[in-house]
Amino acid sequence: MNSTSWTAFRIALLVIRWAFWLYRKLGVTDFQVVFCTSVLVLIFGVVGLLSQVSIVSSYLPWLQRLVDAASFWYLLGVVVAVAASTFFVWRLRKIGIVSVDAETASGLDYKGALALVKSGFDFVGIGAAKLTHNTSDFTLAVERANQNSGQIRLILCDPRADAVRRLERIANVDSGSYLLNVQRSFASICHLKNRFPKNIQIHIYRPANEGELITVRLMLINKTICLLSQNVFGNDAKQGKSVPQLHLSAKPWLGSSPTFYMAFERYFEQLWTSGSVEVTEQDFVEIAAIKSYGKTVS
């Protein structure tokens, strides 16, 4: 690269930095910049394609002239759109965001998450019913963790807490069905814990009401990736399947900046050490014996 090219490159970088400073000061987000530039490029692209259709160009001769005159600006728009998109993605990756699911059901669901497990995982949730519902996948994940001397740690809400009973009214589900699912989940976990006592640990916390329920669902897999979503109750949540989900990487990219994975990993450790207690055999017995609306776990 000669001196003239290098100077032009440096000037371009300065212009980009200035543009970034300007739209940040104006309160414009990266997403808005990427979206707007992409829409403009798309519009010019559609116009360019239409200008190549003989029927259209014969009726609109000015369209061809417009495209010819704007070809440079269209090319510049493509470059800007690609650069803005790359910059946006790079900024997300720098803080550890590697992917996002608009809905858990259509993204990396529990079955897919369990398939990723090799050396264990940490989980924070209410009852882990959807996690243990895939019995064979859950068992295979535990077996792989056992083969690799890994650990599976679960922090769950104590089903004996009044908050669990109130969740049924909030979620508008059949009376007793939610508690029954949680009981079955604990029974499945207890069974696997008896098979793999060195690999599975369970802690429970006891909220006084639904307002004290942990508001996020975490799954830290193999100490490399964190799946993060929020606990939402009610018809709109579709039993938690319609909530968005973030994928956070533990490994920094192009630098040593801490990622958000590390923050949620510390959050899990705080809950594990001071926000919950280890479940006992007596706890499992009492949870299995809970009666609600005339139903018990079978």
Which CATH number is 173's domain given? 3.30.870.10
pTM: predicted TM-score of the whole model, two decimal places: 0.77
Are 147 and 262 found together in one domain?
Answer: yes
- Number of structural domains the chain divides into: 2
Q: Residue 114 CB: number of other CB atoms within 10 A?
A: 22
Quick check: is 295 in a domain? no
Quick check: is 130 in a domain? yes
Residue 295: the pLDDT is 45
Which alpha helices (H) appear in 52-121, and where do they start and end?
Answer: 54-59, 61-94, 110-116
Are 71 and 128 found together in one domain?
Answer: no
Are 174 and 59 found together in one domain?
Answer: no
Torsion of CA 271, 273, 275, 280, to 10 degrees: 110
Are 128 and 240 found together in one domain?
Answer: yes
Are 61 and 11 found together in one domain?
Answer: yes
Quick check: is 198 in a domain? yes
Quick check: is 294 in a domain? no
pLDDT digits (tens, 9 = 90+) for 22-67: 766 676 666 677 777 777 777 766 666 555 555 555 555 655 565 5
Are 53 and 169 found together in one domain?
Answer: no
State how far the Cα of 106 lies from the Cα of 173, in Å rounded to an integer.
23
What is the extent of the structural domain holding 183? 100-288
Are 57 and 126 found together in one domain?
Answer: no
Are 133 and 75 found together in one domain?
Answer: no
Are 151 and 23 found together in one domain?
Answer: no
Are 115 and 82 found together in one domain?
Answer: no
Quick check: is 296 in a domain? no
State how far the Cα of 61 lies from the Cα of 167, in Å rounded to an integer.
65
Quick check: is 298 in a domain? no
Phi-psi region of 240 (alpha: psi -120 to 50; beta: other; left: phi over 0): left
Q: Mean pLDDT by 10-residue block, N- to C-terminus, for the chain (298 residues)?
A: 69 72 68 73 65 54 57 63 76 85 82 93 92 91 94 94 76 68 91 93 90 89 93 60 85 78 95 94 89 48
Quick check: is 20 in a domain? yes
